[in-house]
Amino acid sequence: MDQIVPSLLDQGFFYVDNFLGELVGHFVLNQVKEMHYSGVLQDGQLAGPGPFGVSKMNIRGDKIAWVNGGERRCEAIHLLLTLIDTLVSLCIGRLGKSIIRERSKAMVACYPGKGTGYVKHVDNPNADGRCITCIYYLNKNWNPQEHGGILRIFPEGKSYVADVEPLFDRLLFFWSDRRNPHEVQPSYATRYAITVWYFDSEERAEAKRRFRDLTGTFLHWII
pLDDT-derived band of residue 1, with 50, 70 and 90 as boundaries? low
End-to-end Cα, the chain, rounded Å: 26
What per-residue confidence (pLDDT) applies to 46?
Answer: 67
pLDDT given at position 47: 59
How many CA atoms within 13 Å lie on the side-chain side of 113? 7
pLDDT digits (tens, 9 = 90+) for 101-151: 999 999 999 999 999 999 999 999 999 999 999 999 999 999 999 999 999
The dotted CATH code for 3-221 is 2.60.120.620
Of residues 51 and 208, which shows the higher confidence score? 208
pLDDT tens digits along 18-28: 999 999 999 99
Residues 48-86 have pLDDT tens digits of: 544 433 345 568 899 999 999 999 999 999 999 999 999
Mean pLDDT of the chain: 91
Query: Per-residue pLDDT for 223 more than 70?
Result: no
Contact of 192 with 105, CB cutoff 8 Å:
no
Q: Quick one: pLDDT at residue 20?
A: 98
Nearest to 69 by CA among 216, 209, 196, 207: 196
* Beta-sheet pairing, 190-200 with 63-67: unpaired
Q: pLDDT-derived band of residue 32, with 50, 70 and 90 as boundaries?
A: very high
What CA–CA distances, in Å, run from 142 to 136, 162, 191? 14, 18, 9
The whole-angstrom separation of Cα 108 and Cα 35 is: 9
Average of per-residue pLDDT across 32-45: 94
The pLDDT of residue 220 is above 90: no
Q: Which residue has the higher pLDDT, 36 or 210?
A: 36
Q: What is the pLDDT of residue 54?
A: 37
pLDDT single digits (tens) 152-171: 999 998 889 999 999 999 99
